[in-house]
Amino acid sequence: MKHLSVLGSTGSIGRTAMDIVRRYPDRFTIKALTAANNLALLVRQIEEFEPEMVAVFDETKALELARSLKGKVKPIILYGEEGYVTAAAWETADMVLLAMVGAAGLKPALAAIAAKKQIALANKETLVMAGDIVMEKARENGVDILPVDSEHSAIFQCLKGNRTRDFKRIFLTASGGPFRNRPFEAFKDITLGDALNHPTWEMGHKITIDSATLMNKGLEVIEAVHLFGISQDQIEVLIHPQSIVHSMVGFKDGIVLAQMGVPDMKAAIAYALSQPGRLDLEMAFPDFSALGSLTFDRPDVHKFPSLTFAFEACKQRGTLPAVLNAANEVAVQAFLEKRIGFLGIFEIISNTMGLHTRIDNPDLSGIIEADRWAREKAKSLI
C-alpha cells in the first residue's frame, strides 16, 4: 500500500492520478491534497478520498473550502506556500506526486526530499530551475525521483536493465504542436484559440501553450540532463506527430530502444506510482497496421527558437535556466491574457535572458532571486 500526497490534484495530471487511485483502492490511499483554485472539484475529491490535510492557494480559498465542507469530511486546511510545503512533507505519506505547474513546485519538492519521501515528478520546472541542487539533495537523502512526463518515463523504462556506461544518446520526441506545418510568415496571425488547440494531448492551458512554442520540449531537455546525469549534447529532439514513440535511448553498440504506446498520460503516471511493477490499465495497444507509418523530423529552430533558448540555458547553467523558466511563465500568462501576441512569447524570453548577468553555482536563495528578477524584467518588457 502506498500512501500518497498529491500536489496539484485538480489539474490534468492530478485528476488522472486520482482516477488510478480510485481504480486501485487496495494499492493506494490519499493522505494529502493541494489545489490552487478549483474548489468544487477539490471538495468532491476530499469527500471521496478523505485526506488528512489539504492546502489551497490563499486564506480566502481556505475559508471558502472550510465552509464548503461544513458537516462533511473535515481535514486540516492550510494555504499558500507553507500549506504546499506541509503537504509535501506530510508525515503519513510515503510518496509525493508533484503535479503543480510552474516554479511553485520547487520548495515543496525540496521539502519532500528533506522528509525522505519518494517523488513522482510531473513538475519539470523544479529541475529546470534548480536541478543541480534538487538532485544533490535527493542523493544525500536517498530519495528516488521518478519521472511522470511521458518522454522521461519512456527514457527511464528504456534504461532499465542496461548499464549506464553503455548509454550514448537520448532521442526526445515531440508531437510538434499545432503549428509544425504552419509557415513562419503566418505566426503573427496565431490566435489564443489556435494555440490552445493541441492536436494530440489534452493538458492545462500553460503546458498547451508551451507545447505550441516547443518550450515544453526545451524544458524537458533540461529536465532530462538532471534526471539522467547527462550532457545536453547527448540529447536529440525529434518531431514525431503520431506521438506513439514516447522517446528512445541509443547505446554504444548502435542499438536503439524505443518505448511506445498510445498518447495517454495515464500509463506514465501509473508507472511512476507503481514501478517496478505495472498496473493493468486495460489500455489498447497502438493499432500499428492502421497507423501505416511513423515519421520523425528535426525541429525548425527558426520557427521555434524556444529549443535554442533551452539548449543555451542548459549549456551555460547557473541561474540562466531559472531566468528562462520565469520569463516563459510571465510571457505565456501575458499571451493567455491577450496582452501580447504569439511571437511576443519568444521575444520576451530572448530579451530577458539577454539582459541577465548569469551567476555560476548559485545556492537556493540565488536561484529564487534570479527567478524574481526575471519575472520583474519580463513584466517590464511586456
Beta partners for residue 33, in sequence order = 6, 54
First to last CA, the chain: 49
pLDDT digits over 70-113, tens only?
776 789 999 999 999 999 999 999 999 999 988 889 999 999 99
Of 273, 305, 337, the residue at which a domain comes to its end is: 305
Q: What is the pLDDT of residue 37?
A: 84
- Number of structural domains in the chain: 3
Q: In terms of domains, do 164 and 301 share one?
A: yes
Q: List helix spans (H) across 317-363.
A: 320-336, 342-355
Is 47 among the domain residues?
yes
What secondary structure letter does DSSP report for 102?
S
Is 373 among the domain residues?
yes
**Contact between 219 and 268 (Cβ < 8 Å):** no
Mean per-residue pLDDT, 41-60? 96
Is 221 among the domain residues?
yes
**Contact between 281 and 266 (Cβ < 8 Å):** yes
Q: What is the pLDDT of residue 131?
A: 96
Q: In terms of domains, do 156 and 300 share one?
A: yes
Of 279, 305, 331, the residue at which a domain comes to its end is: 305
Mean per-residue pLDDT, 241-262? 97
CA atoms within 13 A on the CB side of 29: 10
pLDDT digits over 106-134, tens only?
999 999 999 999 999 999 999 999 999 99
Position 213 confidence tier, pLDDT thresholds 50, 70, 90 = very high
- Cα separation, 277 vs 274, whole angstroms: 6
Q: In terms of domains, do 54 and 137 share one?
A: yes
State pTM to two decimals.
Answer: 0.93
Q: Cβ atoms within 10 A of the Cβ of 330, count?
A: 23
Q: What is the pLDDT of residue 200?
A: 66
Q: In terms of domains, do 29 and 101 share one?
A: yes
Is 100 among the domain residues?
yes
Q: What is the pLDDT of residue 292?
A: 87
Q: In terms of domains, do 31 and 111 share one?
A: yes
Q: In terms of domains, do 135 and 158 share one?
A: no
Is 311 among the domain residues?
no
Residue 370 sits in which domain range? 317-382
Q: In terms of domains, do 227 and 130 share one?
A: no
Is 110 among the domain residues?
yes
Whether residue 201 has pLDDT greater than 70: no
What secondary structure letter does DSSP report for 36?
S
CATH of the domain at 373: 1.10.1740.10
**Contact between 212 and 178 (Cβ < 8 Å):** yes
**Contact between 216 and 200 (Cβ < 8 Å):** no
Please name the residues in contact with 186: beta carbons below 8 A apart, sequence gap of 6 or more: none
Mean per-residue pLDDT, 180-199? 91
Q: What is the pLDDT of residue 70?
A: 74
Q: In terms of domains, do 165 and 295 share one?
A: yes
Is 228 among the domain residues?
yes
Share of the chain above pLDDT 90, in %: 92
Q: What is the pLDDT of residue 313?
A: 97
Q: What is the pLDDT of residue 225?
A: 97
Q: In terms of domains, do 130 and 177 share one?
A: no
Q: In terms of domains, do 101 and 213 share one?
A: no
Mean pLDDT of the residues in the chain: 95
Q: In terms of domains, do 377 and 297 share one?
A: no
Mean per-residue pLDDT, 7-36? 96
Of 305, 333, 368, the residue at which a domain comes to its end is: 305
Q: What is the pLDDT of residue 227?
A: 96
Q: What is the pLDDT of residue 147?
A: 97
